Structure 1
Amino acid sequence: MESRKQAILRAVVHEFTTSAVPVGSQALQSRYFVNLSSATIRSELAELAEAGYLAQPHTSAGRIPTDHGYRYFVDFLMDLEAVPESVRTYIRDELVKAPSDVQGLVEKVAMTAAAVTQNAAVASAPQGSQARMKHVDVVSLEPTEVLLILLLDGNLLRQQVLHVSQPATQVALTRLTAMLNQSLAGRLSEEVRRHYQNSELGLEKEVVGSIVVALDQYEKGAENLVVHDGVRNLVRQPEFAESSRLQQVLEVLEETRYLTVLLRELIGESD
């Protein structure tokens, strides 16, 4: 793209993101390009629109950036600013206080990002997060009913009442948990699953099978975990002066499945 077109596109993006009002040639001339005529600016705007970088909501209105225009701006025209040390310190201090479990950490990241940017923020768990077993306890409740207490890496606790096929004493359960902790502590879900597949029918297989289910549920939950914060900040943005626009964004934020797909696509584009 020619340098003059780049300068005009940059100016349109700056103006529109500040005011949420379509940008006309006269506004650009008076604020950015005093040495260019309005006719020249209009010609450049028309060419940028023809190339897909700008759009015109109405015939008599100014121009607004398209998705393609925003993408070009971010990739080639946006000025990168250093993060002030005070902001870096704030982020570090906030994240140090974050809970150690995945959901708590993601919530803290979203909250901190919203506070720093004064905008809405969306955060998700890392893609491909694998559960790792840290410790297990099995407590007898009834002859054929036990309580499974599973601690995952990250200090995430899962408890579940299991009905076993054969009566089990606490002595037998204590012996079983000692063996499982020795062989499975620190193991990823795939390794625990292999242990389950190689186990003989009986109490051990039933308990390990429940551990596998708990690990799978955790991984599926982490994969789809998307948290947003700072929605209240949106009402201060000029583009949401119209309540209908704000409603559209709120509907997207509430649709977790859509957000998950969107974030995955954005992460893929940035790789």
Structure 2
Amino acid sequence: MDLNDRKRKILQAIIDEYIGTAEPVGSRSISKKENLGLSSATIRNEMADLEEMGYLIQPHTSAGRIPSDEGYRFYVNSLMRKYKIGMEAVAQLQSVLETRVSQLEKLIRYAGAIASNLTEYTTVVTAPKEQEFEINKIDLVPIATQTVMLIVVTRTVRNKVMNIDIDSATCMSLANILNEHLAGLKAGEITFDKIQDIQKDIENRLSLHPKVLIDIMHFVYETITDSGETEIYVNNAKSILKYPEYNDVEKAEKIFTFLDDKENLKKLVASSDADGIEAKIGKENDFEILQDCSLVTINYSLGNKKAGKIGVIGPKRMNYSKVFASLDLISNEIDKILNEYISDE
């Protein structure tokens, strides 16, 4: 059933009030604080209707109402006011991120910390999956007799010292062949046929033992897949203790145990697959331990490709408008900085 304008305003007022107080909201409280032009009796009747429709819950017979998961969902989708981040906070964010751009991992870590500071909730950030990146360049540099350094450049740089007896000219020629065939490819595009083509090209142009290519390709492939194990960083896990929902010691311990398990967090963040910002409220979360929590996530990109996520975990009565605005701002800043950085390489 669609909500009429009066019910929408009352539901919005109740959720706004509950987000701020964590106390069940009564009709008198709404009639005093909100300029609705309605009596307490009218508001009480509307609240009863909203409860019957599934948007509100009355935790105790004599208590006011609190939002249900469905109430929060309707609020996020249809009622939430837009939150504006202050210019001072925006300037600080830009300054901190720009000074960390030279180290991608630190940039992502700081972004998570900033998100936690802005929202005052726990944040979870996933680092880029290396296998999603293309090979930018391969280089071979002789560093001693029968010793060569193999350098593979993606969005990061990895190198390996190899025992190969080739001179500088051969190193350069071999690197040129590898770049001709592999530059711009990702792991899934390096097929067995592609490796055979490279081997044939090497045989036609150079005199090298086949094992050389096998060793090189093993490291190249390892470079773009090995670090595909998603890194995940948690910020401000202890923030949950600030909220009365977690005053129960046993409940808080279970949450801390969950947040300490990176495999659970990877599954949690991976379960959010929307292109833009997404909120999973209460029972929408896949983990039972988070049935009283909400998770809001957003992607950030590298070269117009999804690279990772920033997520905020908090009580269901979290300040959604502030969280949405904060994550949107941080994601846009990361995208801008990283894409500028990539284009300059």
Is 1:130 paired with 2:136?
no
Alpha-carbon distance, 1:133 to partner:
4.0
CA contact (8 A) 2:138 2:179 kept: no
> Following the alignment from structure 2 to structure 1, what is the Cα–Cα distance between the partners of residues 150 and 255?
40
TM-score (norm 2): 0.62
Q: How has the CA–CA distance of structure 1 residues 214 and 234 changed in structure 2, closer, same or farther, with 3 Å as cutoff?
A: same
Give 1:263's aligned residue: 269
Query: More deviation in 70-79 or 42-51?
Result: 42-51
2:67: which partner in 1? 65
Offset at 1:48? Answer: 1.6
> Counterpart of 2:213 in structure 1: which amino acid?
E
> Matches of 2:252 and 2:142 in 1, distance apart?
51
1:121 to 115, 123, 137: 123
* The one of 232, 237, 240 aligned to 2:243: 237
Partners of 1:262 and 1:270 lie apart in 2 by 17
Match of 1:168 in 2: 164
5 Å-filtered alignment, 1:58-97, equals 58-97=60-99
CA deviation after TM superposition for structure 1 residue 211, in Å = 0.9
Distance 2:251 2:38 in 1: 35
The structural deviation recorded for 1:97 is 1.8
For the 8 Å contact 2:128–2:231, the answer to whether it is kept is no
Amino acid at match of 2:68: T
Deviation of the 1:107 alpha carbon: 1.1
Question: Is the Cα contact below 8 Å between 1:199 and 1:205 reproduced in 2?
Answer: no
Would you say the 8 A contact 1:189–1:212 is kept in 2? Answer: no
Q: Distance in 2 between matches of 1:192 and 1:140?
A: 31
Query: Does 2:260 align with 1:254?
Result: yes
* Alpha-carbon contact 2:152-2:223 (below 8 Å) kept: no
State the distance in 1 between where 2:180 and 2:198 align: 12
Pick from 169, 178, 192: which aligns with 2:175? 178
Range with bigger deviation, 101-110 or 202-211: 101-110
SS in 2 for 1:202: helix
Name the counterpart of 2:108: 106
Q: Secondary structure at the match of 1:121?
A: strand
Given candidates 42, 48, 51, the residue that maps to 1:49 is: 51
Matched, 1:158 2:155: no
Contact 2:152 2:220 in 1 (8 A): no
Q: Is the 8 A contact 1:49 1:55 kept in 2?
A: yes
**Alpha-carbon distance, 1:235 to partner:** 3.1
Question: How many angstroms does 1:147 deviate by?
Answer: 7.3
Deviations 1:223-257 (A, max 9, x none): x3332213343333344444444434434433434
**What CA distance in whole angstroms lies between the structure 2 residues aligned with 1:138 and 1:228?**
39
Work out whether residues 113 and 123 of structure 2, in 8 Å CA contact, stay in contact via their aligned partners in 1: yes
Q: Tell me the CA shift for residue 212 of structure 1.
A: 0.8
1:103, 1:225 within 8 Å by CA — same for their partners in 2? Answer: no
The secondary structure found in structure 2 opposite 1:61 is coil
Q: 1:189 aligns with which of 186, 207, 215?
A: 186
Unaligned runs of 5+ in 1: none
Q: How far apart in 2 are the matches of 1:181 and 1:95? A: 35
Deviation larger for 171-180 or 226-235:
171-180
Distance apart, 1:103 and its partner CA: 3.0
Q: Residue 129 of structure 1 aligns to which amino acid in structure 2?
A: E
Aligned with 1:12: secondary structure?
helix
Please state if 1:22 is matched with 2:28: no
When structure 1 is superposed on structure 2, of 171-180 and 242-251 the one drifting more is 171-180
Alignment of 1:193-212 (within 5 A): 193-194=190-191, 195-200=194-199, 201-212=210-221
Give the Å deviation of 1:93.
0.6
Cα contact 1:147–1:159 (8 A) shared by 2? no
CA distance in 2, matches of 1:69, 1:2: 14
DSSP-derived class of the 2:234 partner: strand
